[in-house]
Amino acid sequence: MAHIRSDEIVASALRTSDAGVPDAENALRHGVAVKTIRRWRRLYQRQGLPRGQAHLTARCPRCDGADLDRQAYAELFGWYLGDGHITLGRRGVYALHIYNDLAYPVLNAHVRELMTRVKPRSRPHTREVPGCLVTTVSWRHWPCLFPQHGPGRKHDRALVLEPWQREVVEACPADFLRGLFHSDGCRVRNWARRRVAGELKRYDYPRWQFVNHSADIRRWCCEALDLVGVPWRASSWKTVSVSTREGVARLDELVGPKR
C-alpha cells in the first residue's frame, strides 16, 4: 500500500518547489523519494488539483478502481452495521458517523484509524454526545462502500450483501467480527455456584453476546463465526451468544478487549 504523507509535508514540499528548489534537494529536505516529489508536482502544480481537498477527492474503490484496504473495510463495515449511520450533507457529500462509548478511548482511536485506511488521507473529526463519541468522515462515496445505506432504520429493511462485500467479509471474517462485537456486542461474566465433593465452588462463565434487531446482520455475524470456527447459538430472537470455553477464548483472541 502506498505510504500516506501528511498534508503538511505535501504542502511544504510544494512551497519549496514553487520557490525554485530542485526536486532532488527538495526530496532530501522532506525525507521522501524524488519520484514522490515529482508525483506531487504532477498532481498539484500541473494538473491543478486543489490542495487540501484530498478529503473530498479521494478515489473510490467502486467507481474509480482505487485500492481497498480489505481488512480495514471488513472491520469498519462491522462497526457501521452495529453503530454507524450515513447522512447526506450539502453538495451531495455524505458523512459516515460511527458511535462508540466514550469509555473506550483505544477503540475510538482505532475507529479513526480504520476510517483513514478506508478513505486514505481523510481526517476524521469527533464530537461528544452524552456517553458517546461520534467519529465522522465525509465522502461522496460512502454509499458505494456501504450500499446498505437507505431510508429508515437498518432493522426495518431487508439488507443484502453485494457479491464484492461477501468476498471481502469471507476473506476477513475476524476483522468483520471485531467491528460487529465491539459495536453491538459485549462480553459478560456469568457465574454459578456448584457443590463439588461437598464443597461449594464458584465458577465463572464468560460469554460473548451480539445483540442486533436485524435478522440479516445477525445472520452475517453467524456466518462469520462459522468461518472462524466459533460455535454460537441464538439465545433470544435478537441475541447471538458464544458461550463454550473454547469459543469464548477464540473470540477473545480475535476481537480483543474493550478499552
Which chain residues interact with Zn ion by CB under 5 A? Answer: 60, 62-63, 141, 144
> What is the spatial distance between Cα 185 and Cα 212, in angstroms, rounded to a whole number?
9
Q: How far is the CB of 209 from Zn ion (least distance, A)?
A: 35
Name the residue nearer to Zn ion (CB basis): 141 or 207: 141
Cα separation values, 58 from 67, 142, 200, 254, Å: 11, 11, 62, 31
Q: How far is the CB of 94 from Zn ion (least distance, A)?
A: 10
Name the residue nearer to Zn ion (CB basis): 59 or 245: 59
Q: How far is the CB of 95 from Zn ion (least distance, A)?
A: 15
The four Cα atoms 79, 5, 59, 100 give a dihedral, to 10 degrees, of: 10
Cβ atoms of residues 125 and 98 within 8 Å: no
Report how far Cα 159 is from the mean position of its chain's Cα atoms: 19
Q: List the grid coordinates of 156.
A: 426495518
Name the residue nearer to Zn ion (CB basis): 62 or 155: 62
Name the residue nearer to Zn ion (CB basis): 63 or 215: 63
Q: How far is the CB of 65 from Zn ion (least distance, A)?
A: 10
Q: List the grid coordinates of 177.
A: 467480527
Q: How far is the CB of 144 from Zn ion (least distance, A)?
A: 3
Name the residue nearer to Zn ion (CB basis): 119 or 178: 119
Cβ atoms of residues 33 and 57 within 8 Å: no
> What is the spatial distance between Cα 138 and Cα 119, in angstroms, rounded to a whole number?
9
